[in-house]
Structure 1
Amino acid sequence: MERRGTCLRISPCLNGGRCSNIPESYTCDCPEIWKGSRCENVVASCKSSPCHNEGSCVNKVEDFECHCSSGWDGKTCEEDVQPPILENCSANLIVNATEKTKLVVWAEPVFSDPMNSELRLSSNYESPQSVFPWGDFTITYAATKIKNGLCTECTFNISVRPTPCEPLKQPENGALLCNGWDNAYGTFCLVGCRSNFTIHPPNRYGNWLICGASGNWSSQAPDCSLNMEKEGDILAFHPSYTDFSFDECHNTTKLRQIFISEMTSHPDLSEFCQLYQACNDVNQVNVLC
């Protein structure tokens, strides 16, 4: 029959502790990193190698502190705080299209995890290409760690625009008036002339110079090459001359108003004008003179 409170054949001391009998009891002589009546508790020091995942340990008074390697945190560096790593995230793309739609291809980002955790990948596009109309579109990719929900995203924009137009040459003795709003989708211009000058031939007054998706102008800006000495001669030569004339470049309010009026009443251009509120603002008309 075993005696209570003494060292038994199977020692009550844990973790390599050495048992010694004392009257009606026993004591455990514990190894360095263990303590307690049965050597059941780890001594709070670096001797127990408490830091995981390559963390370094620093002894404190009856305690320790772990300095964790990159991507780990917690008392013993047991907590994974490393989000997925992102490479090859595309920059914003600006694409010119001569048609109203354009096939755009982009490079997919690459996600990885140095902790070898399983990642769940997602995107708002099934493949790295799509046919886009003119406009702005946001592409998003994401990688999420399944075990803890840490997430990394790649987001970039694709802007599809008509082919840009080369700037028109300023007409001699004249001014060039063009829409200053949303001209990436089309540029529409009229020519005005300084007082006592007119376009030759004069029937080109009020003719629109248009550059659309092709990036090519319908025609070049005509010069105000004909010098008319008398206003009466000018009016006889072309009645609408005074509508498109100006005295000083800094005073072109009348020309801007004519521009807005001509655009809003045009059978085709009025539709473009209706899309944008800026079309009603004379200050949004660009003047080059």
Structure 2
Amino acid sequence: MNTAALGLGTYRLRPPAVHEAACRAWEDPGTAWVDTAPNYLGGRAQTLLAPALARHPVPVSTKVGFVASGTDTAAIAAGVLTSSEAHAGHCLTAPFVHWQCARNRAELGRARLNMVFVHNPERAAGDPAEALLRAFTALEEEVEAGALEAYGVATWEGFDTGVFTVPNLDHMASVAAGSKAHHLRAVQLPVSLVTATAFTQALGGRGPIAQAAERGWQVYASASLFGGELPELATQELTDLIRPDLSVPQACLLAVASCPGVTRVLLSTSDPAHWAEGRAALAEPPVPVPVLRKVLDVLASD
């Protein structure tokens, strides 16, 4: 068993460092990945990434759902967004999903997108299930048109609150595709030693991570350092349980990368040293499940 691969998250990058960060992600071509969204960095993330992506063919995942800063006027003029939807800041209607996919391709300089996540569908107006079905149908059409390889769902709390489950998503994708041969291939959710519900479930072969893994889907762990706060919360004693020779941030990353079913850990850092530390941590052998259980038990008792 290997640990999960490292991927560059762009949510917390400093804009001047985006190009170099994306180039560093290409240092491991076999596992390189960049995750972004049209609303990251004030709506500038994708255009800032484009020059590096032109030099290095790093696979990229982006998103649809949130109305990116400064794009509402263009979307309204194109007839794909209403004023009320723009005010809400989130939209998963088919016209807007298609429009946002096309804009993502243009901003990233890619004729075909590797992965598009439906971004926080729990924020959708009305019934989230209906919104997801509309979005999945539009994304299946993007795949059929050759403009997209696969799609997924990126959520912050949708699984925890029960708004949807992996079996629900699988069923909706089958309905959207008209068969079980759909192109829903990934989920992205927070997985850390603090946001540990799905983590704990996975250690017992339950919950969204295990259910996604059973289907052969990719599982992207976001917020693995809890927005950079986890190293301040974790103790050296906890680190020693995981791997004594690692730093606190490295131990936290390795723990997440060792969670059964997690295939990629997203690290959002502008610092070359932090990126190198993350690469070194994920090159370590995985932490055994009994040790991970002990670590989570210690945290739960604090």
**TM-score scaled by length of structure 2:** 0.21
Q: Which has the larger radius of gyration?
A: 1
Higher strand share: 1
Higher relative contact order (CA 8 A, sep 6+): 2
Of Structure 1 and Structure 2, the greater helix share is in 2
